[in-house]
Amino acid sequence: MLYIGVDLGTSAVKLLLMDEKGKIHNIVSKEYPLHFPRPGWSEQNPEDWYAQTIEGIRELTAGCEKEQVAGISFGGQMHGLVILDRDDRVIRPAILWNDGRTALETDYLNQEIGKDKLSQYTANIAFAGFTAPKILWIKKHEPENFAAIAKIMLPKDYLAYRLSGSFCTDVSDASGMLLFDVKNKCWSKEMMEICGVREDQLAKIYESYEVVGTLKESVAEKLGLSLGVKVIAGAGDNAAAAVGTGTVGGGTCNLSLGTSGTIFIASEKFGVDSNNALHSFAHADGNYHLMGCMLSAASCNKWWMEEILQTNDFAAEQAKIKKQGKNHVFFLPYLMGERSPHNDPSARGTFIGLTMDSTRVDMTQAVLEGVTFALRDSFEVAKSLGIQIQRTKICGGGAKSPLWRQMVADIFNVKVDLIESEEGPGYGAAMLAAVGCGEFSSVQEAADKLVKVVETVEPDPETAALYEDKYQKFRQIYPAVKGLFSVLDN
């Protein structure tokens, strides 16, 4: 049988066709626009997601035996706010995960409601990118739109709704809304009251591998697929990527170098970081995980290469980097503000340490190092909780760079495992579809049978020692300049 994984990203939807043995038969990517109405704001039109997904599935399945397609599932950008009225019309553009407009609402939740109460209700505190602060922003700034809300959705769940008619979400994606009681896997009555929303406006909750419905007749006809094709709930992009890299079960770790950057630590037990520097979410395997998320990771490198250096030849620029661990330039990668562990939407990208002999190569290296150092900040929080991690999987666009993979191994001083099918959320989503269709008895079984490590990058002791010294300097920069960011923001 064949399974479709839909990775609904920030810049494009990437679709993957996989068989029951894990072999990838086809991959299709369809881009759509990203809008920045004001500095720090980030929006998209949900109709663009749907239109490109439909077109992408058509293209994806054009050369296959369509009757073999058994299921479709999703890995989607998290936290985005999609609101529909009573006629199922999208009320306004979706406010995305990397949107920073909700600083006041976030402060209200953390300071007035209180971090302790939020953690008690949801296992997390408020971050500007989360969904609940966005709802409060709509309530305050667009009261007519707020009054018209009949359904509140996350991005991937909008696709599931359009394909199947099922108003659904999954536990991993719901965990990032700040409306969900993660420990008990249900909507938080306290948070609904705080945000002024009703439970009937929120979706039915499923485990990530559960079937939510089948293709609507009109959709099946449009795609040329069977009416019996099952639609499986899917997961937030990070949880889906973790499934796709085999990061399931207790004590496993995955590091994602995508548009955003994450460190993802799977756990069989529910747990909360007492300082809430890491997110405590439900996992797509039926268990839980801790996650640190930075808003700009590989996107920092993309910005530096394309906007500043005006080149698309990333590999050629990285080939010039020779002195790992010895660069005197530092870069703070907070181009869209920052989440873990600083929770500071006012933070901005910063170069420091420039001298007359600083070169283009030094600055390119600093961008890669800065992203990796910032990810290590979350890694250090996990270590402070007594979690010992000796190795990690790696995925995302940045993971395709051998230099960056080695940098991660040296800066984290851990072994880095590269897997055979590094297709992140799309592959994980296809695996969830296979589990939902009964191909595997569990997500763990699917991971054990389908995910294969093909290369391990070992840290170089000498370079790791140099980077340890540089990291200790890096971690002093943000506290030193933090006060300037709010001044610049105003």
Query: What is the DSSP annotation of 286-343?
Result: SSEEEEEEES-SHHHHHIIIIIIS--S-HHHHHHT---TT----EEE--BTBB-TTT-
Burial class (CB in 10 A: 0-12, 13-18, 19+), 23: exposed
Answer for the pair 358, 328: CB distance below 8 angstroms, yes or no.
yes
Mode of pairing for the β-strands spanning 391-395 and 253-257: parallel
Burial class (CB in 10 A: 0-12, 13-18, 19+), 353: middle
CA distance 129 to 101: 9
Helices of type H across 166-226: 171-174, 189-195, 217-223
78 is in an annotated binding site: yes
291 is in an annotated binding site: no
- Specify the 3-state DSSP secondary structure of 346: coil
- Specify the 3-state DSSP secondary structure of 65: coil
For 231, residues 6+ apart whose C-beta sits below 8 A from its C-beta are: 71, 72, 73, 160, 163, 164, 166, 211, 212, 213, 214, 215
- Torsion of the alpha carbons at 207, 23, 419 and 263, rounded to the nearest 10: -20
Please choose, from the candidates 90, 57, 72, 75, the residue with its C-alpha nearest in 3D space to the C-alpha of residue 221.
57
Backbone phi and psi for residue 249, each to the nearest 5 degrees, phi listed first: 80, 175
CA distance 160 to 424: 19
Catalytic residue among 157, 237, 362, 410: 237
Query: What is the DSSP annotation of 228-264?
Result: T-EEE--EEHHHHHHHHTT--STT-EEEEESSSEEEE
| Composition of the chain by helix, strand, coil, percent to 5 | 40, 25, 35
Answer for the pair 187, 152: CB distance below 8 angstroms, yes or no.
no
Is 285 known to be catalytic?
Answer: no
CA distance 484 to 39: 17
Answer for the pair 291, 278: CB distance below 8 angstroms, yes or no.
yes
Residues with a catalytic annotation lie at 237
Binding-site annotation, residues for substrate: 78-79
Query: Which residues are annotated as part of the binding site?
Result: 78-79
